[in-house]
Amino acid sequence: MFDPDDDIRRDLQRLETLRHLPPGTHLLEPGSVEERQLLADLIQLPAGQDPVAWLAANRGPLCARIALHAALEELRGRVVGVRRARWYGFDMPKAGERALLGQLVDLPEESDLFDAIPEHGLAAPDALRATLRRVRRLRGTPEPADARARGASPLLADLLALPEDVDALAWLREERASQGAAMALHRLMEQARPPLHSLQIGPVVQVTFPRAVIRMEHGLRVTVDEVAFGKGGTLITVRTRIRARRRPGAGDLHHVLPRWPGFDQLVDDLGHRYLLQRYEGEAGRTLWWATQRMRTAFNPAVAPGATRLTFIASAESIEVAGFRLPGPERPEPERVRLVELPQGSLCWQMAVPARAV
């Protein structure tokens, strides 16, 4: 689900990375010709050009099409999620989910409702319009007051609430141009990714153990344990420790832990940037300390000639969150954010071992 508050920053950062990848980097591409050309156009934009504004002003019809496709994909995912919940024994969808989906919660598994929306590619305008019409008809008229399920994109709820005589693609172009452009950018950035979505970096050629300790605000201590260099990428392993404190508002929440997102950018001294391929983290807690162990893979392998790497953590806060356990009104655990502690960005540098390139 597209979150404009968090995703636009990451998408712009990812676009900048795509513009400065080492030569010869192999990435997966968008499934349609139109999207591949749009991605190429974005990469070629001047550095000072706002990509979202450019998309809205110059590629409005295509952005509207991509946004509607993405919204219908989100809807399909929610319908599938309801089916899976039933398979696991949760018979009743949450109130917000039922209000959003209406009678779609009872859609049979063999339904062909979303067959015209390819998972890898871009549906034709007429197919998008026809699918949305069928969705509205099968969905019925649930209570509009609760039509925004927790986690659903506002655009999806608004599209489902449009009058029958409104052309959704025209409405997106005229009324939601910037939002549609941001969603189009997000979809392109999600598709232009490394072939592997894992921590795999190919055959490892060099491993270093820096044991570097960095102390930051709020008592956060970051330790860089290991950096592995492979023929397909670079993998960094980091541990963090921060004092565990009782937080106001925790109430019935469980596993209340601070979370530092870790390093999300990698650049070298030649000006190349590397894509974040995969992040995995484990959180723990002792009587006095909240801890994390994070492993982050970057793609591709370090470029020939690079002698220095800079790992960057661009997050501006440490998030403190917990979980509310399932109950009669909540078949799944609910994640609740308590507070964000301001935190400066972090840069950590290291020399590239001779054998790593």
**Does 198 fall in a domain?**
no
Residue 19, classed as helix, strand or coil, is helix
Which of 148, 170, 191 is the last residue before a domain boundary?
191
Angle in degrees, CA 266, 271, 274, rounded to 5: 30
Domain boundary among 191, 217, 235: 191
Q: Are 242 and 220 in contact (CB under 8 A)?
A: yes
Q: Which two tokens stand for residue 61?
A: 């019809």
Domain shared by 164 and 32, yes or no: yes
One domain, residues 43 and 170: yes
DSSP letter (8 states) at residue 111? -
Q: What is the pLDDT of residue 47?
A: 86
Residue where one domain finishes, among candidates 143, 158, 191: 191
- d(CA 209, CA 235) in angstroms, rounded, equals 12
Name the domain count of the chain. 2
> Any idea what the Cα angle at residue 3 is, between residues 149 and 319, rounded to 5°?
100
**pLDDT for position 207:** 97
Has residue 291 been placed in a domain?
Answer: yes
Report pLDDT for 192: 93
With a cut of 70, list the residues of the chain below it in pLDDT.
Answer: 1-6, 85-96, 142-152, 244-257, 316-317, 321-344
pLDDT at 84: 74
| Cis, bond preceding 248 (omega within 30 deg of 0) | no
- The torsion angles phi and psi of 146, rounded to 5 degrees, stand at -110, 25
- List the structure tokens of 149: 């399920």
CA dist 43 to 51, 190, 249, 258, 348, Å?
9, 15, 45, 36, 27
Domain hosting residue 166, numbered range: 4-191
Quick one: 100 and 243 in the same domain?
Answer: no
The SS3 of residue 357 is coil
pLDDT for the residue 147: 46
What's the CA gap between 49 and 47, in Å, rounded? Answer: 6
Among positive and negative, which fits the CA dihedral 96, 97, 100, 104? negative
Nearest Cα to Cα of residue 260 among 317, 198, 336 = 317
Give the tens place of pLDDT for each residue, 324-346. Answer: 666 655 556 666 665 566 666 78
